[in-house]
Amino acid sequence: MNFDPILKKIREIYNESEAFIPLHAPVFNGNEKKYLNETIDSTFVSSVGEFVNRIERDLAAYTGAKRAIAMVNGTTALQLALQLVGVKNGDEVITQPLTFIATANAISHAGALPVFVDVDRETLGMSPDSLKEFLDRNCTVDEKGNCINKRSRRTIKACVPMHTFGFPVRIDLIENVCKEYNLALVEDAAESLGSSFKDKSTGTFGLMGTLSFNGNKTITCGGGGAILTNNEEIADKAKHLSTTAKIPHAWEFVHDAIGYNYRMPNLNAALACAQLEQLDTFLKSKRKVSKIYEEFFKNVHGITFKTETANTKANYWLNTIIFDDPDEKEEFLKVSNAHKIMTRPIWRLMNKLPMYENCTRGNLHNSEYLEQRVVNIPSSTIHNNK
Ligand SMILES: Cc1ncc(COP(=O)(O)O)c(C=O)c1O
């Protein structure tokens, strides 16, 4: 395949004839510096401060969740969320093998073992059919209401679908299966802030959902994350445990649990507040880029540009192309990166990594198919006069 027209199109979109084009660059065009200066002037740079309280209110308002709890990153947010829905040492947690490593790591950090079920080719995220097939074949709900894996004899406590690159999974059907098997639904919405399913934000369907504001995400505060939940009691516990489980008192140091130092610092929250103010502008710009790609790839034989599925709105965090031929994908990665256009393959499947190769898994045909064919292409917002 001749990749020249694709590379030319990418350079045209980003108005860059020669310079390196990153996969996703952050943009700081709003109140970032102002809020950072205010934070420094206030001396409240750490885990107490106005911006960290404000980002929680703003995120709840934006997503429609009753509560948001600001965390140091998305990995710790997911770990704590899993612990709060009752995941204990030695339990199992179902997720998808096609995800960023942090999903599986957070499950491990919570003391559990990941179990991998397949994804849908259309959504790139957990398939409700694969989830149901795995549970029907391998699991039973005991008299106490616990979902038991009949082979391992372990309790499967939770299910963590991930909205890959911002494309929402079929979350309504996943929710139904979780109810049938008494699994706590915890959405890894790290990549999907701004995405929705039937007009409801991703991350707000399950008992808990988690976000990331890492430097490569749609909005960033350097490092940061959040827990979303509609359950006030769980939200209070999340705040308590993420702030060393200290009992409020004017001067005494008394703690009533083994807590964590997981609260987002005010300095990062200042950045997060400024970025969240611009999220709708970013989303508009990202949609514009994705439309240009969509039109362009209609005429490229052998490549499918991934678009949002029915009933969903994607944030188009990372634009995604799917090659018919895995060899062409490899060649494209070589050629594009050699031409200073940053492109990346999708992740190696979790079950192929040494830490997770012995984990229980279902049939993973779609994950294997996508692993061989998916590539992300430059997806930064276009701004100013570009
Ligand atoms: C799917 C997914 N889950 C979790 C995370 C973890 O977030 P963080 O890097 O903020 O810890 C990320 C991104 O980094 C992610 O892409």
Ligand 1 centroid distance, CA of 102 (Å): 5
- Domains of the chain, each with CATH number or no CATH: 4-26+279-377 (3.90.1150.10), 32-277 (3.40.640.10)
CB of 103 shorter than 6 A to ligand 1: yes
Which amino acid is located at 65 in the chain? A
Half-sphere exposure of 147 (CA within 13 A, CB side): 25
Q: Name the band, by pLDDT with cuts 50, 70 and 90, for residue 386.
A: very low
Residue 253, classified by CB atoms within 10 Å of its CB into exposed (0-12), middle (13-18) or buried (19+), is exposed
CB of 93 shorter than 6 A to ligand 1: no
CB of 102 shorter than 6 A to ligand 1: yes
Q: Residue 187's CB: how many other CB atoms inside 10 A?
A: 32
Q: In this predicted structure, what is the pLDDT of residue 126? A: 98
Ligand 1 centroid distance, CA of 75 (Å): 6
CB of 192 shorter than 6 A to ligand 1: no
Buried b (16+ CB within 10 A) or exposed e, 281-304: ebbebbbebbebbeebbeeeeebe
Which residue from 325, 323, 344 is spatially nearest to 333, judged by alpha carbons?
A: 344
Angle ∠(315,319,323) on CA atoms, nearest 5: 140
Query: Would you give the end-to-end CA distance of the chain in angstroms?
Result: 29
CB of 189 shorter than 6 A to ligand 1: no
Q: How many angstroms separate the CA atoms of 290 and 243, rounded?
A: 40
pLDDT at 90 over 80: yes
The atom of ligand 1 lying closest to the CA of 216 is: 14
Using only C-alpha atoms, what is the Rg of the chain? 21
CB of 203 shorter than 6 A to ligand 1: no
Ligand 1 centroid distance, CA of 316 (Å): 16
Q: In this predicted structure, what is the pLDDT of residue 105? A: 98
What average pLDDT score do residues 218-245 get?
A: 98
What average pLDDT score do residues 10-14 get?
A: 97
Q: What is the pLDDT of residues 281-306, one digit of tens each?
A: 999 999 999 999 999 999 999 999 99
Q: Residue 37's CB: how many other CB atoms inside 10 A?
A: 12
Q: How many angstroms separate the CA atoms of 214 and 14, rounded?
A: 22
Q: What is the pLDDT of residues 298-352, one digit of tens each?
A: 999 999 999 999 999 999 999 999 999 999 999 999 999 999 999 999 999 999 9
SS3 305: strand
Q: What is the pLDDT of residues 166-212, one digit of tens each?
A: 999 999 999 999 999 999 999 999 999 999 999 999 999 999 999 99
Helices (H) and strands (E) counted in the chain, each on its own, are 12, 16
Q: Name the band, by pLDDT with cuts 50, 70 and 90, for residue 383.
A: confident
Helix segments in the chain, DSSP class H: 4-13, 32-42, 50-63, 74-84, 101-109, 128-138, 171-180, 232-242, 266-277, 279-297, 326-338, 365-373
The atom of ligand 1 lying closest to the CA of 76 is: 11
pTM, two decimals, is 0.97
Ligand 1 centroid distance, CA of 301 (Å): 33
The atom of ligand 1 lying closest to the CA of 224 is: 10
